[in-house]
Amino acid sequence: METIPLVQASLGEQELAAVAEVFASGWPAGQGPWGKALEAELAERYGVGDAVALSNCGAALHLSLLTLGVAPGDEVIVADYTFPAPAHAVRYVGAEPVFADVRADTGTIDPRAVAELVGPRTVGVIAVDTVGLPADYTELRAITDRHGLFLVEDAACAVGATYQGRQAGELAPLACLSFHGRKGATSGEGGALLAADPAHGATARFRASFGIGSIFDQSRVVGLPVPVFEEIGYNYKLSDIAAAILRVQLGRIGELLERRRAVAARYEELLADEELLTVPWVPEDRTHAWQSYMVKLDPSVDREGVAADLRAQGIGCGHGTWACHLQPVYESKRSCPVSADLFHRNLAVPMHAELTADQVERTVEVLRGALRAHARPRGGRRVG
């Protein structure tokens, strides 16, 4: 029986050749020639003042809050329906995450919820481009500008997506990218911080290397410079091996994204008449990067049973993402009912650039059967 993985990276000979060049150079560590080249390409691609290559998107979120001066006692409004990295980053700096509910139709942070949560201790907002779909930045910028708050874009899943003609990653003064293995462009792990203000980028880069700057640059200085540690820094550097892979991947992003879009279009076509689920909706003013493809199951459907059937047939699936306010680590007293509902009803099915048409059709066929097998009876008889 053929297995159809939930996620699969698109890595091949081009990426291997780039890694071989790094090996030959003798500098595989971070902030070397390939890392610098990647940062220059990212800054040009997104039209920002600076781009900092980092070990992951969580590091980018942490550095963005440090750069903005977020401190204990501050509150930061964060999107609730997402991997909890934004809320974690707020906790890293001793501040308090305040969870905002999301739109039922897109799963992105609801500007109305944000506006209601602004209080005397609020210093900023972290919006999330949920599984690849940009949030409502026109409305969010209006709110943050009105109250003098910062806005950070968590574009971890959204490389290649757009909002009102602009790329995800350039929709806020600070934006964070992920290059994790399931993203549209990947080096296995990795991330970047995009800064409109070059000073913010310089500060983040300095802190990403233990607070002493680039060891590669220092090794090229004639003499013996001895770095001085004047503040606490972190080891958030992206290796030059990963940077070399990403330079290839960014050159392929158009091709890889087009293949994901074709998969999404085929799912939508095949599932258009399925009454036991709802397919994703994309507003006309934005495009989706399709990091994940999540369907919302009818309340009558036992999601765990459907997932068990899919996996028994070799088809990968997952719960989607998290309602952060429900996680024990936060013990939040806030209610985000839309996020909670999506957390319990969404199901992620295989989505990556390597999926074939036959695999998509088989996934849908098995999914349809599982839905009917695990739907509670309506009016005294089982659905289907």
Query: Structure tokens of 223?
Result: 């003499």
pLDDT at 199 over 90: yes
pLDDT, mean of residues 335-353: 98
- The larger pLDDT score, comparing residue 179 to residue 333, is at 179
261 and 237, same structural domain? no
Q: What pLDDT does residue 343 have?
A: 98
pLDDT at 380 over 70: no
Per-residue confidence band for 225, with pLDDT thresholds at 50, 70 and 90: confident
Cα(44)–Cα(35) distance, integer angstroms: 14
pLDDT at 121 over 70: yes
Contact call for residues 341 and 296 (beta carbons, < 8 A): no
321 and 278, same structural domain? yes
214 and 90, same structural domain? yes
330 and 200, same structural domain? no
Exactly one of 183, 237, 296, 333 is catalytic; name it: 183
Q: Is residue 80 one of the residues assigned to a domain?
A: yes
Q: What pLDDT does residue 197 have?
A: 98
Q: What is the CATH number of the domain that holds 336?
A: 3.90.1150.10
Tens digits of residue pLDDT in 269-301: 999 999 999 999 999 999 999 999 999 999 999
Q: Is residue 215 one of the residues assigned to a domain?
A: yes
Provide the sign of the torsion angle of the four alpha carbons 357, 363, 366, 371, taken in this order. negative
Percent of the residues in the chain that have a pLDDT greater than 90, as a whole number = 92
pLDDT, mean of residues 34-63: 98
pLDDT at 382 over 70: no
Q: Is residue 360 one of the residues assigned to a domain?
A: yes
Range of the domain at 99: 13-250
Residue that is last in its domain, among 189, 222, 250:
250
pLDDT at 116 over 80: yes
Q: Is 26 left (phi over 0), alpha (psi -120 to 50) or beta?
A: left
Packing angle between helix 33-46 and helix 240-271, nearest 10 degrees?
A: 40
Tens digits of residue pLDDT in 243-274: 999 999 999 999 999 999 999 999 999 999 99
Per-residue confidence band for 221, with pLDDT thresholds at 50, 70 and 90: confident
Packing angle between helix 13-25 and helix 33-46, nearest 10 degrees?
A: 130
Q: Is residue 175 one of the residues assigned to a domain?
A: yes
Q: What pLDDT does residue 332 have?
A: 86
Task: Work out the number of other CB atoms within 10 angstroms of the CB of residue 281.
Answer: 14
302 and 210, same structural domain? no
Q: What is the CATH number of the domain that holds 192?
A: 3.40.640.10
**Identity (one letter) of the amino acid at 56?**
N
Q: Is residue 379 one of the residues assigned to a domain?
A: no
Into how many domains does the chain fold? Answer: 2
Give, rounded to a whole angstrom, the gap between the first and last alpha carbons of the chain: 26
Q: What pLDDT does residue 218 have?
A: 83
277 and 172, same structural domain? no
139 and 71, same structural domain? yes
Q: What pLDDT does residue 378 have?
A: 66
Q: Is residue 79 one of the residues assigned to a domain?
A: yes
pLDDT at 381 over 60: no
Cα(255)–Cα(239) distance, integer angstroms: 25
Per-residue confidence band for 213, with pLDDT thresholds at 50, 70 and 90: confident
Residue that is last in its domain, among 219, 235, 250:
250
- Residue 16: φ, ψ to 5°: -60, -40
Q: What pLDDT does residue 384 have?
A: 45
159 and 212, same structural domain? yes
146 and 65, same structural domain? yes
236 and 124, same structural domain? yes
Residue that is last in its domain, among 250, 277, 309:
250
Query: Structure tokens of 21?
Result: 């060049």
pLDDT at 63 over 60: yes
36 is catalytic: no
Pairing of strands 150-154, 174-178: parallel
What is the rounded average pLDDT for all residues in the chain?
A: 96
Q: Is residue 2 one of the residues assigned to a domain?
A: no
pLDDT, mean of residues 67-95: 98
Tens digits of residue pLDDT in 8-19: 999 999 999 999
84 and 29, same structural domain? yes
Per-residue confidence band for 379, with pLDDT thresholds at 50, 70 and 90: low
260 and 141, same structural domain? no
